[in-house]
Amino acid sequence: MLDIKNQKLKALIGELEKIRGRHTELVTVLIPAGFSIHNVVSQLRQEQSTAQNIKSKTVKKNVMSALEKVLGHLKLYKQTPENGLAVFCGNVSQQEGVSDIEIWAIEPPEPLRTRIYRCDQVFIIDTLKDMVREREVYGLLMVDKSEADIGILKGKKVTLLKHMDSMVPGKTKAGGQSAARFARVREGLLHDFMKKVGEVANAQFKDLRDMKGIIIGGSGPIKEMFAEGDFLAHDVKRKVLGIVPTAYMGEHGLYELVERSEEVISEASVVREGKILEKFFDHFAKDTGLATYGLKEVMEALRGGNMELLLISEGFNLIRVHYKCSCGHEEDDMIRRDELKAKECPSCHSRLNPVGEKDVMDELVKLAEQMGTEIEVISSDTRRGQQLKEMGGVAGILRFKQ
């Protein structure tokens, strides 16, 4: 369940990061775990009094409205939730003089340790971002006589940090030099190149937070020479977990390096996820009848108790929305969360406002828990993860053929 909570927090962070206030009227309230919610209410009441002194009538109105909305939300809690509470509220309208006060609240997956009240042009989300940072980080280093690539595996995402080309010539004798002299020159250039690769790798890896280890790869014997030499700093070198042969270099080679390092990083989430997706797509390709995808099909399998493993893409963000118009017309729709907005009423052509929403992911998770179905959140940073996202973002492996 931690993956689901992290995913919801990541989605909220992404939404809040995009919001910029026209003035300092975005309110952030972080209540630490164990802190009295009644003391926070008292503070916010005092802040309301202080806000009366704001010179701009528009800003004063928006700050007062945001604080009142936050106070209204806090009435829902008799005490602070176990991990604390984060509340964000403010005017999100981009039109001068127009108010659109929105509120977001979340109980974080980890205990909040920081108490914050802030009015600003942005929401203060650094504490929450730190909670969802990837703590599973591996350094990736590939080297041969012609080039080198330095990257990282962070969670399930591979990133190329630096590509380097060498000046080392091939083994062909050239320019009338003696074979021995040519070999010495070539050996010196190769040593200088590996030394440069080591310097860059040291700089990239030395202070990398949460790094569990380093994997070295490449297509020839140079990778072993590099690993055995003194090119990496001692504190970096001791983190080398293994040396893995690869056929490619560049970004494609980094992905290959991760795939071939299964035994070295067997506990990494990217390896575990790869095995899960391999199993799903194997059923899908062989048409065994045990792979299903699409919201309707997955919901039916969950309700029938026939879902063994539920796969939800990180990019899945559908919500069910209830719309209501002043003329009395009401309707429901299913849309992506980032597409939520008012639309035209088909009856009177006035504004049809969203008045309620339900997260489809919450429905899926609740059903899965009721039916004893295992849940896996799938990254969209890998090729197969992206395929799952393109298939609708939700799929699963069935217990038996339907």
- Structural domain for 257, as ranges: 137-267
Q: Quick one: 149 and 238 in the same domain?
A: yes
Q: Quick one: 82 and 149 in the same domain?
A: no
Q: Quick one: 62 and 127 in the same domain?
A: yes
pLDDT tens for each residue of 255-308 = 999 989 987 887 677 788 888 999 999 999 999 999 999 999 999 999 999 999
Tell me, what's the pLDDT at 116? Answer: 94
* CATH number of the domain bearing residue 50: 3.30.960.10
How many structural domains comprise the chain? 3
Q: Quick one: 114 and 141 in the same domain?
A: no
* CATH number of the domain bearing residue 212: 3.30.420.60
Q: Quick one: 117 and 195 in the same domain?
A: no
Q: CA-CA distance, 48 to 221, in Å (whole number)?
A: 69
Tell which of 131, 152, 185 closes a domain.
131
Q: Quick one: 213 and 240 in the same domain?
A: yes
* CATH number of the domain bearing residue 297: 3.30.1330.30
Q: Quick one: 120 and 218 in the same domain?
A: no
Tell which of 131, 151, 183 closes a domain.
131
Q: Quick one: 124 and 93 in the same domain?
A: yes
Tell which of 104, 131, 158 closes a domain.
131
10-residue mean pLDDT profile of the chain (402 residues): values are 75 90 92 93 93 89 94 93 95 82 91 93 93 87 94 90 87 60 82 95 89 91 93 92 92 92 78 89 95 95 94 89 90 83 86 85 91 90 89 94 80
Q: Quick one: 255 and 166 in the same domain?
A: yes
Cβ atoms of residues 59 and 25 within 8 Å: yes
Strand partners, 356: 322
Q: Quick one: 15 and 114 in the same domain?
A: yes
Q: Quick one: 11 and 126 in the same domain?
A: yes
Q: Quick one: 95 and 199 in the same domain?
A: no
Cβ atoms of residues 118 and 124 within 8 Å: yes
Tell me, what's the pLDDT at 317? Answer: 85
Structure tokens at 136: 């599973």
